[in-house]
Amino acid sequence: MRNEGRLFNQSPAMWNSRSLPIVAMGAAACLLPFIIGFISAKISPAMSQQGAIVLALVFPAFVLAVIQSRLLIPYTLVVWAVGPEIRRISDWMEGTYQSVSLLSIAPLLASTMILIPVLRGIHQVQQPLARIALYFAVALGYGSLIGVAKNGMGFAYDLANYIIPLMILPYFAVRPFDIKDIDRLLSAYANIAVAVSAYGIIQYMTVPPWDAFWMNHVEMNSIGQPYPLEIRVFSTLNSPGPCAFFLAGALMPMLMEKRWRGALGWLGVVLTLVCLMTTLVRSAWLLVFIMLLAYILTSSSKGKWRTILQLVVLGALLVYIVPKLPGAEGLVARMETLTAIEEDRSYNDRLDLLHTMLPAVTGNPVGQGLGSVGTGTKLDNGGDLGELGIMDNGFIALFLTFGVPGAIFFFAALFLIAKKLVSRIAARNSFQPYARLGFAAWAGAFANLISDNGFPGLRGYVVWTLIGVGLWAKDAMAERR
């Protein structure tokens, strides 16, 4: 009765303050169908269909972010993994290939929902993260100023591809995770990678019609021919490179710890390895090797020998299995080039690129700005990649984008992260495996810069997820306790 009296004696001002958000949300819910209908009437049916698919992909991420579910990161990884395949199926059903599609931004929009929990807990951010964020902000701000002047709207897309994956770091800093939560996240990533691998093997054997349709229109000669056993597998992703990076990012945790292998265990590991081979992306093997090396070297002596023994057994199994696979001749030939790298055409092309682009960097230390390198060049080039759309050297890509001033701050932020991870490893506590995993991801991404820039887009999302687990998990757990 006492509580009821308080309830009825509340002032009108208090009632208004409490009811105003509810009324506003109700009004927005009523207006939203009319707004969507009005916009749909003004655009083409194809664009309307793409918009509906984008909303269907983004809305679950919004709900997961609002309720602060730990499934948010796994769900966004699913969207990154299958978004390109959904786009290919949509184009195939319409019978029209579109070089620039609204569906391309679905993974970015879904991942933007991470901002909701980040903004809720921003007051919990500690000084080390603030300093890292400041360095990245200076680099991205500088790149944006140059990019908006030189590259038009392409800079905005490029900026989003850098910033949104970086939001993973503050997300792990403010979102409480315990050890089981992190293990479930890594296991979910493994399950997604195994599903991608299973489809990739099917793609290698049969080439579904929507994938063949895309290959016939995309004009990308490096991905092979749209025939069984003649394709460089890209699975549900948009090319062999991102597919290989996505699988490599999941493969290292799967190899190192049983609890991170997902539902299929070693069978999932074998499927992922076989699919990774069919991508024919050798830089992904460098990434896996560097990550494994970093993880093993920072582990205890007992753990090192056990892990090395497992890898030797797995390697022997692959040596026996791979030559018996359909189309194994091409896979074996591709792997053999690793022992005679100086005779490989791709390796020599990268050397030529380095010699060609170094004068461009030294001759223009200010940089080209965001939107000058990579996929963002499509926006101001009629849907085709620009002159620097493909850049097979991550160091050159970063210096061209940010110039010397911005690149200095970008690399300074990377080294601050490495320093923090090393201090976590030195603590030698129950959180050490996650710190070692984060350091392994950092080392792999940094070494991979000799081949490609793995910090924006999907690759950045994978890298920052693994680094975030190792960098801030302990602080978030302590805050929860």
Q: State how far Cα 38 lies from the chain centre.
A: 34
Within-domain flag for 20: no
Within-domain flag for 105: yes
Give the 3-state secondary structure of 103-136.
HHHHHHHHHHCCHHHHHHCHHHCCHHHHHHHHHH
pLDDT at 4: 46
Amino acid at 111: S
Burial of 328 (0-12, 13-18, 19+ CB in 10 A): middle
d(CA 223, CA 18): 58
Question: Which contiguous run of DSSP H or E holds residue 67?
Answer: none
- Residue 1 above 70 pLDDT? no
Q: What percent of the chain has pLDDT over 90?
A: 28
Whole-Å CA distances, 434 to 9, 406, 458, 474: 53, 30, 21, 9
What value does the mean pLDDT take over residues 238-266? 90
Residue holding tokens 């809720």?
120
d(CA 459, CA 245): 7
pLDDT band at residue 86 under the 50/70/90 scheme: very high
Q: How many domains are contained in the chain?
A: 1
**Is 428 strand, coil or helix?**
coil
Residue holding tokens 């603590």?
427
d(CA 111, CA 119): 14
- As a dihedral over the C-alpha atoms of residue 416, residue 422, residue 426, residue 427, rounded to 10 degrees, the angle is 60
Within-domain flag for 221: yes
Within-domain flag for 6: no
Within-domain flag for 29: no
pLDDT band at residue 481 under the 50/70/90 scheme: very low
pLDDT band at residue 246 under the 50/70/90 scheme: very high
- Residue 237 above 60 pLDDT? yes
Which domain covers residue 385, as residue numbers?
41-480
What value does the mean pLDDT take over residues 121-141? 81
pTM over 0.85: no
Question: Which contiguous run of DSSP H or E holds residue 405?
Answer: helix 394-426
Which residue did the predictor score with more confidence, 18 or 178?
178
- Residue 163 above 70 pLDDT? yes
Residue holding tokens 């992904």?
284
- Residue 200 above 50 pLDDT? yes
* 6-20, 235-249, 465-479: which is most confident: 235-249
HSE (CB half, 13 Å, CA atoms) of 297? 10
Within-domain flag for 203: yes
Instruction: For residue 130, report the phi and psi dihedrals to the nearest 5 degrees.
Output: -60, -40
Contact predicate 110/75, CB 8 Å:
yes
Residue holding tokens 């997902």?
262
Residues with Cβ within 8 Å of 416's Cβ and at least 6 positions away in sequence, in order, are: 128, 131, 132, 135
Segments in 151-281 forming alpha helices (H): 154-166, 168-174, 179-206, 209-218, 240-256, 266-279
Residue holding tokens 């070297």?
297
Within-domain flag for 441: yes
Within-domain flag for 10: no
**Is 231 strand, coil or helix?**
strand
